[in-house]
Structures are given as structure tokens and as C-alpha cells.
Chains A and B, each alone.
Chain A
């Protein structure tokens, strides 16, 4: 199977501390890859290196066949990224956000199509979209940001804890959207610490602890490997003793 993302032996130190050590992972095209691990395990650093936002100290990275450190602007054209703690601009309306991001991606996609798509993905009413984002609830902000991330139909969507803090309905909508987009060929790289979510949406799960990938496989493979009944139990068996 063709790989959308390849990382081999990636290491990174930040302020003298080893954050990633010899990380190797492969994200197949058109699949949902969930990178799971405890806080501070290196999930976000891995994502940032894959996007070319920070430099790796060693190792090899290929995203859609290109090195993001060398061709970051090109690679990012095909990626939608939702950082974990991202916030919208408080003084801009939802529609202004959509117009702004649509223009940023206008080299590869049609602005009008992106705007319609963003409105649809966000699930926000036009009345809400005309309000300043500073007045939105946490869930509305997250939905707007997700819409901005997926509006240009990225080949790879990188979502850092996309379900964190969402209510049941919003979480259900996001998972349904991920499955739907993955079904139409988009690749997802998602981080989460909730193994029930991972089991529900992942094709492949990579478990990362202390900057190292300790296990990788489908949820079923990891469950069978550990003789567990669920991915959550498998996670505890594989990761629990290391943290």
C-alpha cells in the first residue's frame, strides 16, 4: 500500500531534552492513523516535524513523497492541520475566518467551493457565522476550526486531539465526518488519548511513549497481540508500565 507519510528514525531534542527518539511510522494513503500516547509523549512534536513546522535532528521524513523541511510550502498545500489548542481570531466573524482561510488555500482549490464546504462542515448557521468568533462556545469554535482545516479537501488531515472537549453530538459529527472523508480517499493522522475513540475510527494505531513508538498495528492486531478485550486494555498493557 502506498504511504502518505513515512517517518524513519526521527529524533528531536528540545532545550536539551530528548522529545523523540528514533521514531518510525508509516501512514497509509486513505487510512485513518491514530497516534496515541500520554501527555508529553511526543505526539504533537511528531506532527510538527511531519508538517515541517519544526526541524528534526536526525532521520528521514516524506510526506506525499516530499521532505517537509525542504518543501514545506508545497507539502502544506495538501495538508489540513488542526493544532490541539488552536483558537479562532476573537474579533473576526466565522464567515471572515472562512474567507481568510479559503484565500490562503486558493492556489489549489476554488474559493467558492471551499466556502460552501466550510459552512457545511462547521454545521453552524449563517446567523452564527456572522457573529464574531469570540462570542462562540468552545464547541462552536472547534467546529469552525475543523471546517477551516478540511474545507480545501486536503489529501492529508492532521488533527491534534480533535475530539478533546467536545460534547457527545459534536464528537459524533466529527467522527462521522472523518469516516466519510476517509472513505473518499483522504488520509487522516489523528492524535488522541481516548482509546475508545481510537478503536472506533482508526485503521492503524501507533502507540507512542516517552518519544518512542512502542507498538503499531490495527486496533484488532493490538488487541490480539496483548490478549486484551479492547484497545483500551491493550493500551494499558503496552503503555501503562512505561509512564
Chain B
């Protein structure tokens, strides 16, 4: 009996994969496009950011502060260079041209700065709605901080001389030295590598969102699309069992969904790597992601099969399935910015009723090395999969599929 079902399943899977593989546009759209587009997007954004010319005007009203202004200009240029942005800095004693950021060094600046207890004022004005002005503003603030540090050190040395004392200006500036480390949920110490791995896991959790949509598209097409193309009734009239037909279609949709998911995840990791410069994927996290992706695809195809069996058209099936995608997106996006394990019990309970929450938590616990947490959510997700597959088999009824209007 099982070997017969397996044989039937293989025949349907072969036909479905053959049919899907000939749909070149779909393959390109869901597999090749993300692999090319996301890293390209990161490179493009980086290139455009580096290509923009950011202008800073340093307006020196206090003639005596010209030297400090020149030093400030050098520091701003250096900071922006480090960000990969070309700086166009103008030092002027008159109004000067419009700029993304205008720094005014007013009269009395030099006196206040060189007095032992003086407080000098700098007026900064930023261009509204300009990302370039944000970059320049950050660079100016950092440069001013560096200048302030130099001034403070000088003042400390003067005071020390007056008091005939030895003072460490760094200790005076920073009376509290912060040493930051990491630890795991159980309290054990962790390193920078583990912190990076945990961040990567969050990216991978988010990438699971891309698992849901292709699986829904393929599954809707496999059932409602076949009905629309007038091919399903003949198939249903063959001796092959409904379970084999549905299982073969689900497996084909899941296979392509998984391919799309792998492509999307690689593309997303490449995007973040190119944008942030550091990502770390451990073998355990990669395995957990694979388990999570496979079970999530199985759950999603089962949900899509239930919806497709009750939908009149592919469009109707996909529109209804959008609800599922939105729920998945909500969970996976939350996983990127919220710690799902630290929510109040009632929110946590509601979230745990959603299968996608468990797929996100599988990757989360794996990244922390908590195998118990990982296993718990794998088992819950597998139970969801069994339940939804059972419901989808019940919903895959030839009368409903043939007669639905």
C-alpha cells in the first residue's frame, strides 16, 4: 500500500516539477531575481551613497577661531571619508553658498574656548529632508567631540599645573570606564562572535518571510490553476488516489518554495553583509534555518492547499492567501526587532498559536545554542504540519474542486 502511494506520489511529483520547471518566468522571478537584485541593491545603495557630494559650510564669524575652524574642517573631512562619502567643505567668513549643514562659529567663540571655565557655542543648521545632511551632521558632531576632548585635556593640564598636581585627563573625562561583554540566556559568557551569530539569526528569521509567498503561489497554481486550465478533471478521473495527487503537488510546490527560500536567504544575507560588513552563520544556525524553512514551507503549502481547494480562481486563492503572508510577515518582521521570548504571557500565547512564530523561534534558539528550545518548537511546528496536512487532504475533494463557482 505504502509503496503504491509512493509510486503514485513520484509520478505526480515528476509531472509537477517538469511542468513548473518549464515556467521559466516564474523560476527567474522567484529564484534568480532575488539572488541578483538584493546584493545589487546593497551595492547600488552603497555606490550611490558614496557618490553623493555632501556640502558643509563652516562660517567663521570669530576671526580668532580660524585655526580651530581649519582643524574642524580637516576632522569633518576625515570622518566623512571614513563613511565613504565625498565631503565638500567650505570655510568662509561671509554667508557663503547653501550647504547640507551649516556650522556657525560665532563671535566670542575663541575667548570662551580658551578660558579655563568658558563654554563656547557652535550653531549648526541642517538642510531639511536631506539624508546627506544627516551624514554631514553626524560627522560634524564627531569632529566637535574630538575638538572638545583636545580642549578638555588642555584645561586639565593647566589646572594640574596650577595645583601642582598630576592628573590623568582621560580618567577625569571618563570617570566610569565601561567594559562591555555578552552572555547567553543561561548566564554563561559569550563573545563577539556569538553576538554576531545571534544578529545573523535575526536576519535569517526575517528571511523565512520569503519562504511563505512562493509556496503559496505554486500551490494555488497547482490546484486552482489546473482547474482554470481544464486539466484537473481528467487527472482526478484516473485511479491514482487523492492523497497522492495532493502530496505530489504539495511536494513540488515545496521544492520550488525551498529553492526560492534558499535563494532569498542567500540574497538577504549578502544584502546585510554588503550593507553592514559583518555576518556570521554557524552550522547549527544554518541547519536550524533549513529545518525551519522546510517545515514552514510544508505548513504554508498545506494552508495554501486548503485555501486553493475552496477558491474559484487563482487570483482569489492568492488574494486570500495574502492574509497568511501578512501574518507571516508580521511575525518575521517582529522577530527582527522584538525578542519574541520576552513578551507578556497573553501576547506570547497569541503568537504561539501562529505556526510561523515557531519557525522564527527555531532559528532564535539555535543561534543561542539552546537545543531544548529548538526541539520544542520543531515538534510544535511538525504537529501543526500534520494537522494542516490532514485538513488539506479533507479539503481536496473532487466534487468541490470540479463544481466550485
Contacts and interface: CB of A to CB of B under 8 A. Distances in A.
B237 A51 contact: yes
Contacts of B398: 53-54
A53 B230 contact: no
Interface string A96-121: 10001101111110000000000000
A166 to B, nearest CB: 17
Contacts of A74: 239
Interface stretch (A22-30, A81-89, A220-228): A81-89
Given A83-B230, A86-B231, A53 B240 contact: no
Contact of B239 (A104, A145, A148): A104
A77 interface: yes
B238 A53 contact: no
B11 A103 contact: yes
Nearest to A78: B239
A87 B8 CA distance: 22
A104 B241 CA distance: 10
A193 interface: no
A237 interface: no
A92 B239 contact: no
A107 B11 CA distance: 12
A105 B238 contact: yes
Contacts of A106: 7
A103 B240 CA distance: 10
Interface stretch (B18-26, B252-260, B284-292, B302-310): B18-26
Contacts of B238: 76, 101, 104-105
Contact of B237 (A15, A53, A92): A53
Nearest to A53: B398
Most buried by A among B8, B11, B230, B239: B239
B231 A81 contact: no
Interface in B217-276: 229-231, 233-234, 236-241
A90 interface: yes
Interface residues of B, number: 26
A91 B239 contact: no
Contacts of A82: 234
Contacts of A15: 405
Contacts of B399: 53-55
B101 to A, nearest CB: 58
Contact of B4 (A14, A51, A104, A107): A107
A239 B193 CA distance: 84
B376 interface: no
Contact of A54 (B23, B229, B402): B402
A87 B403 contact: no
Contacts of B14: 100, 103
Nearest to B23: A91
Contact of A92 (B11, B18, B233, B234): B18
A55 B7 CA distance: 27
Contacts, number: 76
B183 interface: no
A241 to B, nearest CB: 30
A15 B312 CA distance: 15
A48 interface: yes
A106 B240 CA distance: 10
Nearest to B236: A53
A77 B4 CA distance: 14
A148 B231 CA distance: 12
B40 to A, nearest CB: 30
Interface in A5-27: 14-15
A100 B15 CA distance: 7
Interface in B365-402: 398-399, 402
Nearest to B228: A87
A149 B28 CA distance: 35
B335 to A, nearest CB: 37
A200 interface: no
A145 B234 contact: yes
Nearest to B233: A83
Contacts of B234: 81-83, 86, 145, 148-149
- Most-contacted residue by chain A among B4, B14, B236, B238 (CB, 10 A): B238
By CB atoms of chain B within 10 A, which of A55, A103, A107 has the most?
A: A103
A79 interface: yes
A85 B402 contact: no
Contact of A87 (B15, B231, B241): B231
A76 B239 CA distance: 5
A100 B234 CA distance: 12
B314 to A, nearest CB: 15
Contacts of A85: 230
Contacts of A88: 231
Counting chain B CB atoms within 10 Å of each CB, the highest count among A86, A88, A148 belongs to A86
Nearest to A80: B237
Interface in B185-237: 229-231, 233-234, 236-237
Nearest to A51: B237
Contacts of A86: 230-231, 233-234
Contacts of A145: 234
B241 A73 contact: yes
A132 B21 CA distance: 13
Per CB-CB distance, the 10 closest pairs between chain A and chain B, nearest first, are A91-B22, A81-B237, A77-B239, A54-B399, A87-B230, A103-B11, A76-B239, A83-B233, A104-B238, A53-B398
Given A77-B239, A85-B230, A86-B233, 11 more contacts: A53-B237, A73-B240, A74-B239, A79-B237, A82-B234, A87-B229, A89-B15, A91-B18, A91-B23, A104-B240, A108-B239
8 contacts: A14-B403, A15-B405, A73-B239, A76-B238, A82-B234, A96-B15, A104-B8, A107-B239
Interface of A: 14-15, 48, 51, 53-55, 73-74, 76-77, 79, 81-83, 85-92, 96, 100-101, 103-108, 132, 145, 148-149
